[in-house]
Structure 1
Amino acid sequence: MKNRKHWLLMLIFVLLLGILAACSSDAGEGDNEPDDGTEQPEGEGDGDGVTDGPQMGGTIVGAMDTAPTGLFNPIFYTEAYEANILDFTHEGLLSQNENLEFEPNLAKKWTFNEDQTQLTLELEQGVKWHDGEEFTAADVVFTYKTIASPGYVEAGGVRDDYVIRLKGFEAFRAGETDVFEGVTADGDYTVTFHFTEPNVTALSDASFPIIPEHIFKDIPVAEIPTHAASLEPGKVIGTGPFKFTEMIDGEQYVLEKHADYWKGEPYLDGITWRVVDQAVILGLLENQEIDFVADPNGFQPADYETVAAMDHLSIIEQPDFGYQIMGLFHNHRTPEESEAGVINPENWVPNEDLASKEVRQAIAYAINRQGLIDGLLYGKGSVINAPIATQFWAYDGENPNQYPFDPEKAKQLLDDAGYVDTNGDGFREDPNGEEWVLSLHFPLGNQLRERSAPIIEEMLEAVGINIDLAQPMEMAAYVPELETNTDWDLYLLGWSLGSGDPDPSGLWGSTAAYNFGRWYNPEADQLLQDALTPPDAFEQDYRKQVYSDWQVMFQDDLPAVILYAQNSLWAYNKRIQGIEPLPYSMYNEPQLWWVNGE
């Protein structure tokens, strides 16, 4: 649906394009339409066995290669696999079109005050939650108040970026006041967002999916992530076109239509998600045991020609709204703050193994990123040199360091930094002559990531860096370790980016929960702040220059090596009609999907 990838990423991780996703599912903004390589679906009203119009009834089956970790609450989920459920069950006040322009959704219209510090939205009336209760402005106030509340981050929340610009946020979060000024209701169907100062990202901030006050109002913030209403089918309540009704944990997730959906009764009776290994998705598509595969990983590039030869399938190929990284831990939290969920850069402990900028840059030069694209993605991807989606006007593909594959330069940088092989074993010691080993961690679930890990190990060892390739972990275990470890060096991950605004602070700001490598650069933080500070920030050219400066700094300091942005490769059975993909998702207006011949 149009209010997709609300977040930051919704990591959404796609971890690799899997975590957090969350990342990956918040509505977003932007100006440009990407160069869309979409193949037009065949057989829609063209006499190819398709009826004259939509039909009621039928179910479809989708596949995802990794099981959701099981947290089905928009304000707390962190992975793109949960988003595969939540994108159908929950909605925001605004959505986006194919040009990344904001459009009405649960809010039918909006106005700004003269100085752009207040955004007032008029809500749709007659919207029903899945349990029959009415959606009102109180639900909007409750959602944002909860995200802004004390204890939200400690409970695992990572959506702070949607509330930090709201009036009174800091005092409310600190517990200095019980009054939440940031979002207020004027009756049941009008809500106003109050910002501390004129806000260039106001529409994006107001687009977050809404949760029901009547379900969660008596639950302490710390207990929401473990409450049945965040975990169990039948108790997860949204306003979206489909209800989450059944699951076999780790295997199957069932959505049934919300017959009282405010935009009209969905055509489909239901959508079933099956969790299957990537290795068998191709066969299931061929045998028509599954009907579609899309976010977060789609089908494998190696299978493109095979899928294209299946006459019953349509392929959607377009630039991915995200990227894959090898993150570098600049710092670690203390064990005490890690356990408590505290993010305080002033107390972080430097990772001495990666403290040298020359070492980090040598690592970037040592990785043949185009080789990964050619060998693993069969060319269906591109090298990018900044952590901003290429579809955004803010992406700078020229000025940041490009880090072409240059192992000799990598070796020279390591030599200059004092990392040399002193004992002739082929691996470099640190400047003190001590053994120097970097750990590389990665999760299971994405075959490209799993295959790239040992290749990257070989590339780094070819320039004398001793790599300890850790045993891969299931995503459900990997993410908590990524968040709390105190000794990792390198990690593989993927982000599905929010489409709302190019602002990368939700992933790379020093206090961002998703800043797993604990990158702390006050000058970079200041640039991120400048890009959002009025009045200059209301001029796109100004923001573009500031973000260019930030991208240059990112590539110089290297909190991560951006490995590649692969093309999204989605496929669906031609019996499904009404699919109109967006630049960041296939899940657009699914209440209008219907099946032919059932």
Structure 2
Amino acid sequence: MKKILAVLLMLCIAVGILSGCGGGSNTPAASGKKKTFVFGDTTFNAENEEPDINPHNAYSGWPCIRYGVGETLMKIADDGTLKPWLAQSAKNVNETTWEIVIKDTVRFSNGKKCDAAAVKACLEHLIKVHERAAGNLKIASIKADGQKLTIVTSEPNPILMNYLSEGYGCIIDMETGLPKNGCVVGTGPFVATEVVTDNHVKLVKNEKYWDGNVKIDEVTVRTISNGDTLAMALQSGEINAAYGMAYASYPLFENDKFKFSSIQTSRCFWGMMNFHKENPGYRIMSDPAVRKAIAMGINKKGFVDVLLKGYGYTAAGAFPESFAFGKGVNTVSYDPGQAKKILQDAGWIDTDGDGIREKDGVKLAIRWLTYPSRQELPLLAESAQATLKDIGIEVQINNTKNHNSIRKDPKAWDIWVSANVNAGLGDPQNFFDTYCLDSSIKNSGGHHSDDLEMLAVQLRGAFDPGERAKIAVKMQQELLDDNSYFFCSFLRMSMIMQANVTGLAAHTCDFYELTADLDIK
């Protein structure tokens, strides 16, 4: 009996040794453990109007689509063209009628089939509660028949399918309702189990995903707004990948332990002027000479080359020149000498020798409102503060996460500087509709131009891409000639990850992040 026990013991030891030595046998998949992934993100917070992942709430459609919970009817390719996603096809029957066929294989994460009736219910609720979506989509009626969806708009809407590719267009199951915890039911590769504003989102694998096998079992998206904290978390292995890393930290990850996914985007760092007459700074901002001097006094190239360390490119207008509607605009160049002359000729003179110009007893001081979650924006504020001071303009920076509430007060700021994906839908119209027109929900500066309004009407009715591009160039030129808006740079966006992470890629529209392809080898 002792001999038998000894032999059994030796066999057990041998099996244990062999099982611990096989190539890759201690990986999560081989050992039966769950594959987990932790993603550090600077942008999931109320400051960015992303309090949860309900696409029918503010800008929460962005985390819904980014984190793989929701999907849209069409998808924006990196060249700006539309590709089918939940939709099998989309046909423009006439100027106001669209026929969309939903793929027969699409299922929500709860197993329910995503048919035209489900999409209809989702879109009807969206336009009922989401002001921006309702204004963009202009939907008059929706009809569902099996997998075929027919949408009739109240007026011609050439880019209806582009708009439905925005985050708010994520299709969610309305039969389950909109849970108070924000964990909506979508069609994506991941299912949200916990959402805590400004902190984290917890996700699990969608076992019923309609479009392939999901490789990661559990994901935690952590909000880490501090750049140093984000860098340390990735270095230590606390997180597997990061979005929004500070440029100063990039050299820490330029080694074989990490890798980058980078792409040029249309996310623009730009500013709008405040033209409200009740604004204490109205006398300054209404002066064309001041606005032109500001545009000429910002060193865009210096900002990109020095502060962004080359991870970006300078902007002439609202859109990159890689788009047809971004070519051919004319803007002023950085010229501090000419800017000084313009101010001097307009009567802005430094009479007391403190370096800041005055006119009729009014100091040439502007209040610059921006926010910290886009780490490029505070850098731009500091750069502009330095170069504008050189021409005699004082810049008072208010860098705050409360910028969205402050910008709604016409008395509280003179320039609001933001970061927006201006051509994320592959078309120029959304930028103008959102920020520049009388009806724009975010025209916080009260800008008005008769010519711009007329061009906007033309753009909304133009179905030919070439014609749309020409109109968009004219609209940008209106803004630039008046210097009511300025455009500094576009982002070269990067995601940084551990070397063994695969399936995580940066995209020009900045929508898609966590997908079924995400894996840790």
User: What is the TM-score normalised by the length of structure 2?
Assistant: 0.84
Change (3 A) 1:379 1:84: farther
Tell me what 1:253 maps to. Answer: 201
Structure 1's unaligned 5+ residue stretches are 1-47, 167-180, 217-227, 335-347
Alignment of 1:372-411 (within 5 A): 372-396=303-327, 398-401=328-331, 403-411=332-340
Following TM superposition, by how much is the alpha carbon of 1:90 offset from its aligned partner in structure 2, in angstroms? Answer: 1.1
Alignment of 1:462-501 (within 5 A): 462-470=390-398, 472-474=399-401, 477-497=402-422, 498-501=424-427
- Equivalent residue for 1:162, pick from 108, 112, 136: 136
Alignment RMSD: 3.0
Matched, 1:183 2:109: no
Amino acid at match of 1:280: T
Deviations 1:481-525 (A, max 9, x none): 223443310122111232332223233333211223232112112
The answer to whether the 8 A contact 1:89-1:241 is kept is: yes
Structure 2's unaligned 5+ residue stretches are 1-22
Q: Distance in 1 between matches of 2:82 and 2:357?
A: 52
May I ask how many residue pairs the two structures share in their alignment? 484
Quick check: which one's strand share is greater? 2
The answer to whether the 8 A contact 2:67-2:190 is kept is: no
- Equivalent residue for 2:153, pick from 183, 195, 203: 195
Amino acid at match of 2:235: E
- Equivalent residue for 2:432, pick from 470, 489, 505: 505
Alignment of 1:407-418 (within 5 A): 407-418=336-347
Matched, 1:444 2:389: no
Matched, 1:62 2:25: no
Deviations 1:335-368 (A, max 9, x none): xxxxxxxxxxxxx999333012221111011111
Deviations 1:288-345 (A, max 9, x none): 2211123xx2x23333333222x1322122212311123321237x8xxxxxxxxxxx
3-state SS, counterpart of residue 419 of structure 2: strand
Tell me what 1:331 maps to. Answer: 276
- Equivalent residue for 1:278, pick from 215, 227, 245: 227
The answer to whether the 8 A contact 1:422-1:433 is kept is: no
Deviations 1:27-64 (A, max 9, x none): xxxxxxxxxxxxxxxxxxxxx9899xx99951111111
Deviations 1:3-28 (A, max 9, x none): xxxxxxxxxxxxxxxxxxxxxxxxxx
3-state SS, counterpart of residue 483 of structure 1: coil
Q: Distance in 1 between matches of 2:463 and 2:498?
A: 44
Amino acid at match of 2:426: G
Tell me what 1:125 maps to. Answer: 104
Of structures 1 and 2, the larger Rg is shown by 2
Q: Distance in 1 between matches of 2:60 and 2:433?
A: 15
- Equivalent residue for 1:136, pick from 115, 125, 131: 115
Q: Distance in 2 between matches of 1:483 and 1:258?
A: 40
3-state SS, counterpart of residue 592 of structure 1: coil
Following TM superposition, by how much is the alpha carbon of 1:133 offset from its aligned partner in structure 2, in angstroms? Answer: 4.2
Following TM superposition, by how much is the alpha carbon of 1:529 offset from its aligned partner in structure 2, in angstroms? Answer: 2.2
3-state SS, counterpart of residue 321 of structure 1: strand
Tell me what 2:443 maps to. Answer: 515
Alignment of 1:217-296 (within 5 A): 229=179, 232-233=181-182, 235-276=183-224, 277-294=226-243
The answer to whether the 8 A contact 1:300-1:569 is kept is: no
Q: Distance in 2 between matches of 1:50 and 1:392?
A: 49
3-state SS, counterpart of residue 467 of structure 1: strand
Tell me what 1:565 maps to. Answer: 490
Matched, 1:364 2:343: no
- Equivalent residue for 1:321, pick from 266, 281, 288: 266
Amino acid at match of 1:367: I
The answer to whether the 8 A contact 1:427-1:461 is kept is: yes
Change (3 A) 1:586 1:521: closer
Identity over aligned pairs, percent:
21
The answer to whether the 8 A contact 2:272-2:484 is kept is: yes
Alignment of 1:572-591 (within 5 A): 572-579=497-504, 581-585=506-510, 587=512, 590-591=515-516
User: What is the TM-score normalised by the length of structure 1?
Assistant: 0.74
Larger RCO (CA under 8 A, 6+ residues apart): 1
The answer to whether the 8 A contact 2:266-2:421 is kept is: yes
Change (3 A) 1:368 1:60: same
Following TM superposition, by how much is the alpha carbon of 1:381 offset from its aligned partner in structure 2, in angstroms? Answer: 1.5
